[in-house]
Amino acid sequence: MRHLEKEVQKMRIIEWNCQGAFRLKNKEILELRPDILIVPECEAEAKLKFSKLLPMPNDFLWYGDTGKKGIGIFSFSNFKFKLLKEFNPEFRYIIPLEVADGTNSFLLFAIWAMDNKKNPLARYIGQIWNAINYYQATLTNNTILIGDFNSNQIWDKKERVGNHTDVVNFLRNLEIESLYHKQQNENHGQESLKTFFMYRNLQKPYHIDYVFASNSLIKNGYNLTFGKPENWIDKSDHIPMVLDIKELNSTTTILDTFKDFTIRYLNMLNCKTKEKFYDELKVIKQLAEKLDSATELNEEKLQLIEKIETIKMIDKLTMKLKKND
C-alpha cells in the first residue's frame, strides 16, 4: 500500500454515489487518494476508458443490468477483489467480495439499494434485509458493508419485509455497527450530518449512506469523514464518505468454495431439522461439491441457492411453530 510502514498498515475506503457519468467527474474524488473506492451509479468499464478519462486501477469490478449505471468497485492499492461464489444476483446491487492483499483480508459488501417493482415489499431497505439474512453465515467474518442504502429510520413505518431498525439490530447482533453513529454518538433517524440532497437542493437533506463494520475489524481505531455538500452538489446529489481504518490487522476465515458456504449455512440449522432432512442435506452437499469442479455454473448454482433457502425456510418455520406450541 502507499507510503506505509510494514508493521502498521492503514487503509482508506471511499464511497460516493456519483449520480452517473463517473468518467467525467472522477478527478476530485481521486484527489482524496482512496485505496478502495465504491461508486454507485457508475457506468461500465467500456465507457470509463481507463488511462484516458480515468487512471488505471490495480483491480476493478463492476456489476449492473445495463452499461449505463451499476456499481463500480476500484482498487488503487495492493488489494485485489474476488466475488464470492455465494453471490446471489437477486439482491440488486449488494455485491459480496473478498478483499485481500496477501497479508490482510476482509469481506466487503458494496451496496446500492435499489427499487423492486416486482416486489415492492423488498425494495430499498427490504432488499438489504433479505440480503443480510441470506448472507448471515458469512457476516460472522471481518466485514464492511458500505454504500447507498437509500434508507433511514424515519421511514420505518413504510411497509417492508424488514425496516431500517430491523437491519441495524440484526447487524448489531453480529457485532457489526454503523460507524457514523458509533463515532458521533447519535441515534439512527437523528443524524446531524446528511449524505444526500434531493434534486441537489441543500434545503432537502437526508442521511441515507452508511458504513457498517465488524467491531473486530476496526478495533484499532477509525475515522469517518464526509465531503462538504457545497463542494459536491454540482457533481451529484450525494457527498462522499471517507473511512480511514487506522491500523489494519484482519483475515477472513472462509474458504470461497461452494462446499464451504453450503456447510456454513447448513450448520446453522437446528439439530432436529438436520436429523429429519438428513438425506436432503446430503444431496445439497453433493451438489455443492459438483459445482466446485464444474465450468458452467449459472443454472446449477441457482438450484443450490434455492435448495439452501428452502431448507432454511423450513427450519425457521419449524422453530416458530415449536415456540408457539
Collapsing DSSP to helix, strand or coil, 123 comes out as coil
Decide if 250 is inside a domain. Answer: no
Decide if 127 is inside a domain. Answer: yes
Cell numbers describing residue 122: 423488498
Using the CB atoms, write b or e for 3-30: b if 16+ within 10 Å. eeeeeebbbbbbbbbbbebbbebbeebe
The one-digit pLDDT tens for each residue of the chain (325 residues) are 444 444 568 999 999 999 999 999 999 999 999 999 999 999 999 999 888 888 899 999 999 988 889 999 999 999 999 999 999 988 889 999 999 999 999 999 999 998 887 878 888 999 999 999 999 999 988 999 999 999 999 999 998 888 999 999 999 999 999 999 999 999 999 999 999 999 999 999 999 999 999 999 999 999 999 999 999 999 999 999 999 999 999 999 888 999 999 999 999 999 989 999 999 999 999 999 999 988 776 688 989 999 999 999 999 888 877 766 6
Q: How far apart, in whole angstroms, are the C-alpha atoms of residue 318 and residue 33?
A: 51
What DSSP character marks residue 136?
T
142 and 170 housed in the same domain? yes
Q: How far apart, in whole angstroms, are the C-alpha atoms of residue 1 and residue 17?
A: 25
Q: Strands 36-42 and 11-15: what pairing?
A: parallel
Name the nearest CA neighbour of 62 among 74, 51, 76: 74
60 and 142 housed in the same domain? yes
Name the nearest CA neighbour of 14 among 39, 35, 37, 32: 37
Cell numbers describing residue 229: 455538500
Write the CA distances from 279 to 191, 261, 275, 319, integer angstroms: 51, 19, 9, 20
Number of domains in the chain: 2
Write the CA distances from 203 to 18, 122, 232, 234, 289, integer angstroms: 20, 29, 15, 15, 55
272 and 227 housed in the same domain? no
Q: Which of 210, 245, 280 is the last residue of a domain?
A: 245
pLDDT number for residue 49: 87
Name the nearest CA neighbour of 139 among 254, 302, 292, 269: 254
Give the up-direction half-sphere exposure of residue 151: CA atoms within 13 A in the CB hemisphere: 32
Decide if 75 is inside a domain. Answer: yes
265 and 141 housed in the same domain? no
151 and 104 housed in the same domain? yes
Q: Which of 218, 245, 272 is the last residue of a domain?
A: 245
76 and 127 housed in the same domain? yes
Instruction: State the CB neighbour count (10 A cutoff) for residue 78.
Output: 17
CATH of the domain at 26: 3.60.10.10
3-state SS string for 45-92: HHHHCECCCECCCCEEEEEECCCCCEEEEEECCCCEEEECCCCCCCCC
278 and 137 housed in the same domain? no
CA-CA-CA-CA torsion sign (89, 95, 100, 106): negative
138 and 110 housed in the same domain? yes
Decide if 103 is inside a domain. Answer: yes
Answer yes or no: are the C-beta atoms of 61 and 98 closer than 8 Å: no
Cell numbers describing residue 48: 470509463
239 and 297 housed in the same domain? no
172 and 275 housed in the same domain? no
Q: Which of 185, 216, 245 is the last residue of a domain?
A: 245
Decide if 3 is inside a domain. Answer: no
Decide if 191 is inside a domain. Answer: yes
Decide if 2 is inside a domain. Answer: no
281 and 215 housed in the same domain? no
Decide if 5 is inside a domain. Answer: no
Owning domain of residue 152: 11-245
pLDDT number for residue 45: 92
Write the CA distances from 20 to 53, 137, 159, integer angstroms: 14, 34, 29
Name the nearest CA neighbour of 35 among 96, 77, 89, 68: 77
194 and 99 housed in the same domain? yes
